[in-house]
Chain A
Amino acid sequence: MNEGVLLGAYVFVLAILLGLEVIGRVPSTLHTPLMSGTNAIHGIVLLGGIIVAGSADTPLLHVLGFLAVFLGAGNVFGGFVVTDRMLEMFKKKPVEKR
């Protein structure tokens, strides 16, 4: 097995364990924003799209690369903006309360 893959496997397993640990006891109030936020984070695959589009050398790969960048960018930007919109509302505390 080549070294890069092995290293990747270590990183993957550790990140999985960390992911399980980090969100531990999240209140149900935050389920929707958290899902939306993690949804934005997996948009990281946009970087893969950029590398594909940047290394493309056939018409087919140009098209695939373009689609990957477009969809990935939608995932990233849309995901972060919509999560922020949701969480902004949580912050806004009413003034006149009792």
Chain B
Amino acid sequence: MIDSYRQAIIDVSYFVSAILFIYGLKRLSTPAGARSGNQIAGLAMTIALIATFISRDIHWSAVNILTIFVGLAGGAAFGTYLARTVKMTAMPQMVALFNGMGGATAALVSVSEFTRFAHLFGSVGNSESLSVVVGTTIGAISFSGSMIAVGKLQELISGRPIRFPLIQPLNLLLLVGIIALWVGAIVFNTGAWSVWLLFALALVLGVTVVLPIGGADMPVVIAVLNSMTGLAAAAAGFVLHNQILIVAGALVGASGSLLTVLMSKAMNRSLANVMFGAFGSVVASSGAAGAGEAKPIRETTADDAAVAMAYAQEVIIVPGYGLAVAQAQHQVRELGEELEKRGVTVKYAIHPVAGRMPGHMNVLLAEANVPYDDLYEMEQINDEFERADVALVVGANDVVNPAARSDTASPIYGMPILNVDKAQTVIVLKRSMRPGFAGIENELFHEPNTVMLFGDAKDSLTKLTAAVKES
């Protein structure tokens, strides 16, 4: 009797939680409701979490109490600390890290349940086995893949595509091994060892699939892995016969896939091209060709550049990842304000993948209090460059590279770019002539209407602001 009451409370809580997750996700995708949407999803999580504690499946032995609460407190403290202290520029790594942790959890849950069932009953039912192998495989790939993504974005591992010979045959072999283990576990009841081996192979596959992908494509990779972790969570839900895991996991799996498609579109790459594409191999050839010809560039001083902007009608600022690295969001806002005081129209052109994730630059500029109305998306502003007197490029590179429009051999050919080269004068703030994240030469820097102002973005912007005040 008590048991059926307990189960009823859990069922009702999960039901309410599922509705709140859906409503929260809905709000999360609208600008006005996003923050409350996230909080509603958090509430849904809290309800589901509390309900789980009264589950019959939990035996409150001393060890279990210890592992649950120490794990919960430790994980919560760790996650919250990182989330509070991380710099906004490191956001992509942060999301990838949390995603990997979720993937690992899903895989561990699946493996553990299989081990427990096998221990209890000697064999595991077919449908449970299917859920277990799916959850283990996807979760483990998501975990190791996310860790490689973190390494690349944090630049612990080279952002360049890392290729080694025989990688394709190796991946194929791993895939065949994984499928064989699936069949073994589901059809032939091969037992716990096969699921552990599956776990190991899937971990390796996550590494070998993500390593050859260039750093510039990491946002798409994270979006894919995010969606995969959702599906792994749903698979864990099937293993545990837990509806809320299935609902929430499937929601993330689906919305994550859609987000992936939207991001790939923003970069004008098909998903297959990102994951298995020739990005890496093409970079090598065109990079070598570009390095041979030393074309002239025109350097300028802060004073000259300031005069050009101060007497302009319209200045379009193009912020890129370099701005984020230099933490120069505030300086760029000061420069913008100073120009506006003089009657110059200032607009910000945001490329969909400026920064390292779609929307990343909006977050950074919002942090610096740049007025929301001054931010323009690529489609809104691209025709306006022709009328602009000055385009000020701050630490952006690949997203303004005209090769994407004209050079069919370029690895970024076809990616939509901001047409800064159409502006009367292009002022590029850049640390050095080092190529961008994608590792490609940029023709823009050699155009006759382009001038370069070398130095740290923060420094250069401060000097420009001072010079604008004086002119």
Q: Which residues of A contact B (CB under 8 A)?
A: 1-2, 4-5, 8, 11-13, 15-20, 22-58, 60-62, 64-94, 97
Encode contact with A along B38-61: 1 for CB under 8 Å, 0 otherwise: 110110010011001101011110
C-alpha spacing A72/B230, complex, angstroms: 13
Measured CB to CB, the nearest residue on chain B to A38 is B252
Contact: A69 with B75, CB < 8 Å? yes
Q: Is the interface of B mostly helix, strand, loop or mixed?
A: helix
Contact: A54 with B59, CB < 8 Å? yes
Once A45-B232, A92-B366 are accepted as A-B contacts, the answer to whether A84 and B39 lie under 8 Å apart by CB is yes
Interchain nearest-CB distance for A69 vs B (Å) = 3
Contact: B57 with A41, CB < 8 Å? no
18 of the cross-chain contacts (CB-CB < 8 Å) are A19-B255, A22-B251, A24-B29, A37-B41, A38-B256, A45-B109, A45-B236, A47-B48, A50-B52, A54-B55, A61-B116, A74-B78, A77-B76, A81-B83, A83-B38, A88-B35, A94-B369, A97-B373
- Which of B65-73, B176-184, B307-315, B444-452 is the interface stretch? B65-73
Q: A15 to chain B: which residues have CB within 8 Å?
A: 234, 246-247, 249-251, 254
Contact: B45 with A43, CB < 8 Å? yes
Interchain nearest-CB distance for B231 vs A (Å) = 9
Interchain nearest-CB distance for B154 vs A (Å) = 16
Contact: B248 with A31, CB < 8 Å? no
Encode contact with A along B200-234: 1 for CB under 8 Å, 0 otherwise: 00000000000000000000001100100110111
Contact: B259 with A23, CB < 8 Å? yes
Contact: A38 with B226, CB < 8 Å? yes
Contact: A45 with B112, CB < 8 Å? no
3 closest Cβ pairs, A-B complex: A73-B75, A78-B79, A19-B254
B: interface residue count bin:
35 or more
Measured CB to CB, the nearest residue on chain A to B71 is A69
Q: Is B326 an interface residue (CB 8 A)?
A: no
Contact: B59 with A37, CB < 8 Å? no
Contact: B31 with A51, CB < 8 Å? no
Q: Which residues of B contact A (CB under 8 A)?
A: 21-22, 24-26, 28-31, 34-35, 37-39, 41-42, 45, 48-49, 52-53, 55, 57-60, 63-64, 67-68, 70-76, 78-80, 82-84, 86, 88, 91, 94-95, 97-99, 101-102, 104-106, 108-109, 111-113, 115-116, 119, 127, 222-223, 226, 229-230, 232-234, 236-259, 262-263, 266, 352, 357-360, 362-363, 366-367, 369-373, 375, 377
Interchain nearest-CB distance for A52 vs B (Å) = 5
Q: A89 to chain B: which residues have CB within 8 Å?
A: 88, 363, 366-367
Q: B67 to chain A: which residues have CB within 8 Å?
A: 53, 56, 62, 65-66, 69
Once A37-B38, A48-B106, A89-B367 are accepted as A-B contacts, the answer to whether A32 and B359 lie under 8 Å apart by CB is yes
Contact: B250 with A76, CB < 8 Å? no
Measured CB to CB, the nearest residue on chain A to B357 is A32
Contact: B226 with A8, CB < 8 Å? no
* Beyond known contacts A1-B127, A48-B236: 8 more, CB 8 A cutoff: A31-B262, A31-B357, A34-B255, A42-B249, A45-B102, A45-B105, A48-B109, A78-B80
